[in-house]
Amino acid sequence: MRVTHTFEPVYDEKSKILILGTFPSVKSRETAFYYGHPQNRFWKVLAILTEEAIPVSVEEKKTILLKHGIAIWDVICSCDIEGSSDSSIRNVTANDIAGLAAGSRIEKIYGNGDKACRLYDKYCREKTGKEIIRLPSTSPANAAFSLERLTERWKVMIDCIEN
């Protein structure tokens, strides 16, 4: 099924790092915001790294991101996908990551999982001129990583997070 990304990136003039996912899951598309599946550990990891309470509402999530200079978006603008399966992604149209990076203070780009990094390298890296730093996926499908192990690996961006 052909699906188009329906929500905007979150960033502002103070954003120094960009975290990229692949494409919103079915649950994220239903909630119209990033990492909407209750078992996805993205917001828990971010709360630990920023020493904030785990955000619940979309507004709380946006606030924690912008307060700490973090931007989020997805590599894919539209694609053919079955449910939420990254492995089923075909016929990709990429988002304008280069445009976002050029119009902001983004210094580093991090990929939430291997697939996001591979898609970025294929469709965006040449245009942005920026490498992507691979982080383990916060998806519940990545059962090999406990919350503690994820958080430990995600600490590589701590120096870029504004406190």
- Bridge partners of 135, per DSSP, are 112
pLDDT score recorded for residue 44: 97
Q: Which of 91, 84, 158, 115 is nearest to 20 (CA)?
A: 115
pLDDT score recorded for residue 162: 64
pLDDT score recorded for residue 85: 85
Q: What's the Rg (C-alpha) of the chain?
A: 14
Find all residues with CB under 8 Å of 125, minimum gap 6, and list them.
Answer: 131, 132
Domain coordinates of the chain in residue numbers? 2-160
Round to whole Å and give the CA distance between 42 and 124. Answer: 23
Tell whether pTM > 0.75.
yes
pLDDT tens per residue, the chain (163 residues)?
899 999 999 999 999 999 999 999 999 999 999 999 999 999 999 999 999 999 999 999 999 999 999 999 999 999 999 988 888 999 999 999 999 999 889 999 999 999 999 999 999 999 999 999 999 999 988 989 999 999 999 999 988 786 5
Using the structure block, give the residue that is written with the tokens 């709380």.
60
- Bridge partners of 61, per DSSP, are none
Q: Which architecture, in CATH terms, is 2-160?
A: 3-Layer(aba) Sandwich (3.40)
